[in-house]
Amino acid sequence: MEDSVSDIQKNYVDVITNNSVIKHYVKGMSRFLILWIIEYKGPIHGYAILKELDKFFSILIEEESLKKSSPSNIYPILNKMEELNFIESECKVKNNKKLKYFKITDEGSYVLNYMWSRFDIIHNNPQWKLLFETMK
């Protein structure tokens, strides 16, 4: 019996040490947040999107539970969003640097509003409210 408890504890330690639950949550939310950042702050270049995204998770980054966003994670998402016509880009020169600025399209605004309506339905579910009330 003791071995099975030890194995269970090891699995939970792995989850906590690797922050796998948090990493999955961040990965899942990133697309929504990136689209929102572009709508709210746009036109905005990729590096500024990275900085804005990191603000959402700054406490986790500061405590080193999560790494800062990286171009290798964000730019594929931006490229896919552009392929899907959720965003569009325009190159501009700023301080002798060529930067790609992104802005949301009508399709992107529609998708963002749809996603928001789904989150709103989920978060207004009494079961979710109970969960968060009891976890305080």
What is the CATH classification number for the domain harbouring 21? 1.10.10.10
pLDDT in tens, 15-65: 666 677 777 788 888 999 999 999 999 899 999 999 999 999 898 888 887
Domain with 124 in it: 2-134
Residue-by-residue DSSP string for 13-51: HHHHHHTHHHHHHHHHHHHHHHHHHHHHH-SEEHHHHHH
pLDDT tens digits for range 97-122 = 899 999 999 999 999 999 999 988 88
As for how many domains the chain has, the answer is 1
Per-residue pLDDT at 21:
76
pTM of the model: 0.79
Q: DSSP secondary structure string, the chain?
A: -HHHHHHHHHHHHHHHHHTHHHHHHHHHHHHHHHHHHHHHH-SEEHHHHHHHHHHHTHHHHHTTSSPPP-HHHHHHHHHHHHHTTSEEEEEEEETTEEEEEEEE-HHHHHHHHHHHHHHHHHHTSHHHHHHHHHT-
